[in-house]
Amino acid sequence: MSRGVFSQRVHTWIQIFSFALIAIGMPTTKVLMSFGLTFAIANWILEGNFAKKWEIIRSNKALLFLIGFYVLLLVGLLWSWDIAQGLKDLKSRLPFLFLPLIIATSPKIELKWINFLLYLFLGALFLTSIYNVLYYHFATDAIDDIRGLSRFASHIRYSLLIVLGFGTCIWFQIKQRKLRVFYLVLAGWFVYYTIYSQILSGFLALILAIYIISFYLLFYWKKWMAYTWAVLFFSFVGGTLFQVFNLSHESIDCSKLPPLTDKGIAYNHDCRAFSEINGKAILAYYSEVELYLNWITVSDVEFFGKDKKGGDIRMTLARYLTSLGVTKDEKGFKLLTKQDIQNIEDGYTYPNERNELFMPRLYGIKYQLLNNKAPNGHSLLQRLEHWKTSVYIIKKHWMYGVGTGGNQKVFDKAYDETNSPLNPENRVRSHNMFLTVTISYGIVGLLFFTTLLIVLLSISWKQKNLLGLISLVVIISSFLIEDTIETQLGVTIFGFFVALLFVDWKETETL
């Protein structure tokens, strides 16, 4: 087909409309994403001009790598453990290939329309984030766990969108070359939302986005300042992580502790769990009888019941008292205020947790690492089990992997073979994109995938495409703790923002 079914003007408008649906759909609903992708692919086919499109593809290394990786997915069906799932995976990965392919090979669109797509994305993201916060605070059926803040998508994927929104605002502001309060206010809101939501992956992505923006600006001003900033940044991050995740704790022998409280009641000493706040043994100097008798006099919440976050009240109480550095008996309990009791009922494990934004999340991770015997119900410990099982699988299938679609079956088998402590509902896939690719396609697939990412980063840097750099760094950071491209939203985010790498920001033709 050398010519399109409609005039090029009509095809271009359809393309803009399709991408507009995707831009709005990413923060709101999968339905718009699906319709947008379908319209975009159909329009690209009906547009024709395949000879010209092929010439563009042949001369573009990044496009060749994108197509090559999708071909690997196709070829991976030959040794797949689950062909039916593999065919579904091929369909779900279409945004990975077609969104960049459409932008790269179709006639150029005026920059004002590309900017318009980004404005739609920012608008939809802002409105949904406002709704999330209002719903979390005021809806009668809202849940208490902050991870339920996101109402439109997985909290992890939505946090990724928020950081991409922040990066887009900063990019727009830099392009303007003069102060635009709107962009700075919106960027500030996205920063606040990221910290407020306490999603670790979102926070890490935000830190990396801020770093790459500052490094880029310094590099093209004075290179030595950029390199100095890089050393200072990574030194600070490393030092902070060392302090926060210092897993040292007190060395204590329960057999040497006094057997009775001051009132002559037996202690239930247990020196195996430690506080993330001060490293003290949580159940040392613990008298369940005295705590129970005192608790029922000040609270209507059952002592053997749950707090508002779903934790055991008696354990939340013990952790709270430990954070204060007092004994877990009547003597220590009498030091609690009415506010402390309310904090414990609400699920807070130390006094300032209610008022802090992001530290509770870091302390929560530290608590998991300190007390890592039971992974179920703890996101980080479950991920460590997923990664451990992933390595086990890779050792057995290191060359070519298990093929497209075979991941869940091989994981189910591996969990049984390794006697994983994870409950059946927690026995999922790797939660790491690099491990996922290696499991599916072996070391060959990993090298291909890594090379593709390096090529995309290299192109962005050479073209001085700051938006592309921000997008790639944010997306790649998510690969470390998520199977980003394994989900519809994740693969659409990748396809949409990678597609923007192929926009000619200097030369465009009008409609």
pLDDT at 511: 36
State whether 210 and 291 are in the same domain.
no
State whether 183 and 85 are in the same domain.
yes
* Cβ atoms within 10 Å of 208's Cβ, excluding its own: 19
d(CA 280, CA 248): 10
| Total of domains in the chain | 2
Q: Is residue 41 a part of any domain in this protein?
A: no
How would residue 247 be classed by pLDDT, with cut points 50, 70 and 90?
confident
- pLDDT beyond 50 at 510: no
Question: Residues 18-71: pLDDT tens digits?
Answer: 999 999 999 999 999 999 999 999 999 999 889 999 999 999 999 999 999 999
Of 345, 377, 403, which one is at a domain's C-terminal end? 345
- pLDDT beyond 90 at 321: yes
Q: Is residue 389 a part of any domain in this protein?
A: no
Q: Is residue 139 a part of any domain in this protein?
A: yes
Q: Is residue 187 a part of any domain in this protein?
A: yes
How would residue 303 be classed by pLDDT, with cut points 50, 70 and 90?
very high
- pLDDT beyond 70 at 133: yes
State whether 446 and 304 are in the same domain.
no
d(CA 387, CA 411): 11
Largest CA-CA distance found in the chain, in angstroms, rounded? 93
User: Quick one: which of 245, 207, 504 has its CA closest to 370?
Assistant: 245
Of 300, 321, 345, which one is at a domain's C-terminal end? 345
Burial 100-133 (b: 16+ CB within 10 A, else e): bbbbbbbbebeeebbebbbebbbebbbebbeebb
- pLDDT beyond 60 at 509: no
- pLDDT beyond 80 at 147: no
Tokens 């992956």 belong to: 201
Instruction: Give the sign of the dihedral formed by CA 228, CA 229, CA 235, CA 239.
Output: positive
State whether 90 and 174 are in the same domain.
yes
State whether 437 and 341 are in the same domain.
no
Range of the domain at 325: 254-345
Q: How far apart are the first and last CA of the chain?
A: 22
How would residue 142 be classed by pLDDT, with cut points 50, 70 and 90?
low
Q: Is residue 327 a part of any domain in this protein?
A: yes
State whether 136 and 212 are in the same domain.
yes
pLDDT at 96: 95
State whether 223 and 260 are in the same domain.
no
pLDDT at 372: 85
Of 286, 312, 345, which one is at a domain's C-terminal end? 345
Output 243 or 41, whichever has higher pLDDT: 41
Q: Is residue 384 a part of any domain in this protein?
A: no
How would residue 508 be classed by pLDDT, with cut points 50, 70 and 90?
very low
* Across 94-98, 271-275, 374-378, least confident range: 374-378
d(CA 152, CA 27): 7
d(CA 485, CA 111): 28
State whether 218 and 341 are in the same domain.
no
- pLDDT beyond 80 at 187: yes
Q: Is residue 364 a part of any domain in this protein?
A: no
Report the amino acid identity of residue 449. F
pLDDT at 2: 57
State whether 187 and 325 are in the same domain.
no
State whether 226 and 262 are in the same domain.
no
- pLDDT beyond 90 at 390: yes
- pLDDT beyond 80 at 408: yes
Share of the chain above pLDDT 90, in %: 74
DSSP state of 2: -
Question: Residues 198-211: pLDDT tens digits?
Answer: 888 898 999 999 99
Query: pTM for the complete prediction?
Result: 0.89
- Phi, psi of 195, rounded to the nearest 5 degrees: -70, -40
Q: Is residue 350 a part of any domain in this protein?
A: no
- Cβ-proximal residues to 3 (8 Å cutoff; 6+ apart), any chain: 48, 49
State whether 179 and 278 are in the same domain.
no
State whether 190 and 267 are in the same domain.
no
* Residue 236: exposure state from Cβ atoms within 10 A (0-12, 13-18, ≥19): exposed
